Amino acid sequence: MEKEKRGSILLEIVILLLSLLVVVPIGYIFLSSIKTPAQIHVPLAMPTEFFTGNFETVLRRVNLPRIYFNSVLVAVVSIFFLIALSSLASYSLARAKNKMFTVIYIIFLSGFMIPFQSGMLPLFTLIRSLGLMNKLGALNVVQIGTFLSFAILIYTGFIKSVPRELDQAALIDGCGLIRTFVFIIFPLLKPATVSVIVTTLVFIWNDFMNPLLFITTTNKMTLTIGMYSFMGEHRSDYGPIFALAIFAIIPPVILFLSLQRYFYKGMVAGSVKG
Amino acid sequence: MKMSLERKTMLGYFLLTLPALFVFLMIVYYPFINSIFYSFTDWSGISLHKNFVGLENYAALPDDKLIKAGIWNTILIGLYAAIIQNVLSLALALALDSKLRLQGYYKAVFYIPCLFSILIISPIFGNIFQYSGLFNALISQIGFSHLAEDWFGTIRTALPMLMLTNSWQWVGFGSVIYLAGLQSIPPDYYEAGHIDGATKLQAFFKITFPMLMPSVTILTFLNLVNGLKTFELPFVLTNGGPGYATETVGTVIYELGFRQGKMGYASAISVVFFSVIAVVSILQLKLTRSREVEL
Amino acid sequence: MKKAICILVSAFLIIAIFIGCGGNSVTPAPAESPAAQSAPAESPAAAEPAPAEKTTINLTSWYRFDSFYTSSLQEALARELPHIELNYEVIPADQYNQVLTTRVLAGAEQAPDIIQVDVGQMFAQFANDGILTDLSNEEFISSYTDVTKAALTHNGKAYGICLEGNGAGFFYNKDVFNAVGVQPPSTFAELLDVCEKIAAAGIAPVGFSGKDAWTLNWFMNPLIANVLAANPNFRTDRYDGNTTFAKDFRPAYAAVQEIIEKGYINRGSVGLGFDQLRAQMFAGEIAMTVQGDWIVGDTISENHGEDVNYGFFSIAFDDGNKGFIYSPATIFTVNAHSKNHDAAMDFIRYLGSYDGSLLFAEWKHCLPARTDITNINLPDAQKEYTAAMSSGIVTTEYIYTYTPASFHQINEKTLQLMLAGEQVDIDEALAEMDAAYDKDKGQLSRP
**DSSP per-residue codes, B163-200:** HHHHHHHHHHHHHHHHHHHHHTS-HHHHHHHHHTT--H
Q: Tell me, yes or no, whether C374 lies in a domain.
A: no
Which of B118, B150, B236, B238 should one mutate to test binding to chain C, selecting the residue with the greatest count of C CBs within 10 A?
B150
Q: What is the pLDDT of residue B293?
A: 58
- The reply to whether C183 and C289 lie within a common domain is yes
What gap in Å lies between CA C438 and CA C447, rounded to an integer? 15
The helix (H) or strand (E) run that includes residue C166 is: strand C160-173
Cα of first residue to Cα of last residue in chain C, in angstroms, is 74
- The reply to whether C269 and C186 lie within a common domain is yes
Q: Tell me: the pLDDT tens digits for C179-223?
A: 999 999 999 999 999 999 999 999 999 999 988 888 888 899 999
Nearest Cα to Cα of residue C352 among C149, C139, C68, C113: C139
Overall domain count for chain C? 2
Amino acid making up residue C50: A
| Residues of chain C above pLDDT 90, percent | 36
**φ/ψ (deg, to 5) at A236:** -115, 135
- The reply to whether C308 and C391 lie within a common domain is yes
Q: Write down which chains contact chain C via at least 3 CB pairs under 8 A.
A: A, B
In CATH, what number is assigned to the domain containing residue C301? 3.40.190.10
- The reply to whether C112 and C65 lie within a common domain is yes
Answer with the residue of higher pLDDT: C20 or A9: A9
- The reply to whether C310 and C343 lie within a common domain is no
Q: Tell me: the pLDDT tens digits for C17-56?
A: 555 554 433 333 333 333 323 333 333 333 444 445 788 8
Within 8 A of A110 by CB-CB distance, chain B residues are: 278
Q: Tell me, yes or no, whether C342 lies in a domain.
A: yes
- The reply to whether C338 and C229 lie within a common domain is no
Q: Tell me, yes or no, whether C180 lies in a domain.
A: yes
Listed by number, the residues of chain A in 147-186 with a beta carbon closer than 8 Å to a beta carbon of chain B are 148-150, 152-154, 157, 160-161, 176-178, 181
Please tell me if residue B244 touches chain C, with a CB cutoff of 8 Å: yes
What gap in Å lies between CA C270 and CA C266, rounded to an integer? 9
Please tell me if residue A57 touches chain B, with a CB cutoff of 8 Å: no
**So what's the ipTM on this one?**
0.82
Distances (CA, A) of A81 to A159, C43, C443: 18, 30, 44
Among chain B residues, CA nearest to C403: B260
- The reply to whether C360 and C400 lie within a common domain is no
In A204-222, which positions are buried (b, 16+ CB within 10 angstroms) versus exposed (e)? bbbbbbbbbbbbbbbbbbb
- The reply to whether C212 and C314 lie within a common domain is yes
Among chain C residues, CA nearest to A128: C106
Please tell me if residue C357 touches chain B, with a CB cutoff of 8 Å: no
The helix/strand/coil state of A64 is: helix
Domain limits at C61? 10-19+55-162+330-365
Q: What is the pLDDT of residue C311?
A: 92
Cα of first residue to Cα of last residue in chain A, in angstroms, is 35
Q: Tell me, yes or no, whether C371 lies in a domain.
A: no
Within 8 A of A19 by CB-CB distance, chain B residues are: 105-106, 109-110
Beta strands C323-334; C160-173: pairing state: antiparallel
- Give the one of C40, C63, C90 whose C-beta lies nearest to A217's C-beta: C40
The helix/strand/coil state of A269 is: helix
Within 8 A of B47 by CB-CB distance, chain C residues are: 125, 128-129
Q: Answer for the pair A23, B116: CB distance below 8 angstroms, yes or no.
A: no
Confidence tier at A265 by pLDDT (50, 70, 90): low
Q: What is the pLDDT of residue C38?
A: 33
Q: Write down which chains contact chain A via at least 3 CB pairs under 8 A.
A: B, C
Please tell me if residue C413 touches chain B, with a CB cutoff of 8 Å: yes
Q: Tell me: the pLDDT tens digits for A133-179?
A: 778 888 888 888 888 988 898 888 788 878 888 888 887 887 777 77
Q: What is the pLDDT of residue A234?
A: 54
- The reply to whether C386 and C349 lie within a common domain is no
What gap in Å lies between CA B129 and CA B154, rounded to an integer? 11
Nearest Cα to Cα of residue B249 among B233, B265, B270, B267: B270
Mean per-residue pLDDT over chain A, rounded? 79
What gap in Å lies between CA C437 and CA A143, rounded to an integer? 39
| B242 prior amide bond cis, ω within 30 | yes
Within 8 A of B60 by CB-CB distance, chain C residues are: none
Among chain A residues, CA nearest to C64: A232
Q: What is the pLDDT of residue C91?
A: 81
Cβ-based burial of C307 (10 A; exposed 0-12, middle 13-18, buried ≥19): exposed
Q: Tell me, yes or no, whether C43 lies in a domain.
A: no
Cα of first residue to Cα of last residue in chain B, in angstroms, is 41
Which of A140, A219, A262 should one mutate to test binding to chain C, selecting the residue with the greatest count of C CBs within 10 A?
A219
Decide which of C365, C392, C424 is a domain's last residue.
C365
Residue C274 CA, chain-centre distance (Å), reads 13
Q: Tell me, yes or no, whether C132 lies in a domain.
A: yes
- The reply to whether C226 and C124 lie within a common domain is no
Is there a contact between B260 and C409 if contact means CB atoms under 8 Å apart? yes
Q: Tell me, yes or no, whether C376 lies in a domain.
A: no
The residues near A185 (Cβ < 8 Å, ≥ 6 apart) are A91, A159, A162, A166, A167
Confidence tier at A79 by pLDDT (50, 70, 90): very high
- The reply to whether C214 and C345 lie within a common domain is no
List, in sequence order, every beta strand (DSSP E) within C305-425: 310-313, 323-334, 393-395
Distances (CA, A) of C37 to A217, B13, B55, C65: 10, 50, 50, 12
Confidence tier at C285 by pLDDT (50, 70, 90): very high
Q: Tell me: the pLDDT tens digits for C164-174?
A: 988 899 999 99
Is there a contact between B46 and C440 if contact means CB atoms under 8 Å apart? no
Q: Tell me, yes or no, whether C190 lies in a domain.
A: yes
Q: Answer for the pair A143, A207: CB distance below 8 angstroms, yes or no.
A: yes
- The reply to whether C101 and C245 lie within a common domain is no
pLDDT in tens, chain B (295 residues): 556 777 777 888 888 889 999 999 998 888 888 888 888 888 877 666 778 888 888 887 777 788 999 999 999 999 999 999 999 999 999 888 877 777 778 888 888 888 888 888 888 888 888 888 888 888 888 888 788 888 888 889 999 999 999 999 999 888 888 888 888 788 888 888 888 887 878 888 888 888 888 788 888 988 998 899 888 899 888 888 788 999 999 999 888 888 888 888 888 888 888 888 888 888 888 887 777 655 4
Return the half-sphere exposure (C-beta side, CA atoms, 13 A cut-off) of residue B180. Answer: 27
Q: Which of A42-51, C327-336, C405-414 has the lowest mean pLDDT?
A: A42-51
